[in-house]
Amino acid sequence: KELSDNQKIKKIKEFLEKSPVSYAIQKVILDENKVPYNYEFIYVNKKKKKVSGLKSIEIIGKTFKELFFYFYNMEKNWMVTIEQASLSKNYFKLECYDEVAEKYLRIILFHIDNDYCAIMINDATEEYIKDKQIEGFFESNLELVCISDTDGNFIKVNKEFENVLGYSTEELEGK
């Protein structure tokens, strides 16, 4: 049976609320030259609270600079990326560290229309920590250590390969 438009909207809202990804829709605020300079949050899902530590009621109607002034000052390329997403039909990826929330974030920004853009945020803290642990293991190990795929291609090798075999990591990785 075909869903009515109202039923479809309800399903989309359920999807957004139950999603394991943090979503927000932002209204683009333009300056007198029609350049984006801020964004007002008009929708956030429940997962956004887990990532930002803020409740929906604390976010909706507030601007990006009001809520995340510390983040804006810390990550100058953040606003540039949001501006690019607002003005183009491309999506943009950004990874950064939020000092207040103490989390590494993986962010995707994309254009909805001339007045709105959307943002998806994943907490990448666990992945980042695991990557750093693996990197530390590779750097400190005096043995030949590598990660390879099932075809025998090197995905990652440590510096000891260079010392023992004379090939740089760049020459080996991907081969």
Taking the C-alpha atoms of residue 85 and residue 170, their distance in angstroms, rounded to an integer, is 33
**pLDDT above 80: residue 87:** no
pLDDT one-digit tens code per residue, 15-50: 888 888 888 898 988 889 887 878 899 988 877 666
Please state the rounded mean pLDDT for residues 87-94.
Answer: 78
Among candidates 62, 40, 51, 138, which has minimal Cα distance to 96?
51
> What pLDDT digit, counting tens, does each position of 137-163 carry?
888 888 898 889 999 899 888 888 888
Phi and psi (nearest 5°) for 7? -65, -40
Identify whether the C-beta of residue 94 lies closer than 8 Å to the C-beta of residue 107.
Answer: yes
Instruction: Output the pTM of the full model.
Output: 0.67
pLDDT exceeding 70 applies to what percent of the chain?
Answer: 85
Please tell me which residue, 49 or 110, carries the higher pLDDT value: 110
pLDDT at residue 150, as a whole number: 92
Predicted confidence at residue 75, as pLDDT, reads: 53
> Is the per-residue pLDDT at 132 higher than 70?
yes
Give, in order, the Cα–Cα distances in Å from 136 to each of 27, 117, 130, 155, 171: 42, 38, 10, 16, 21
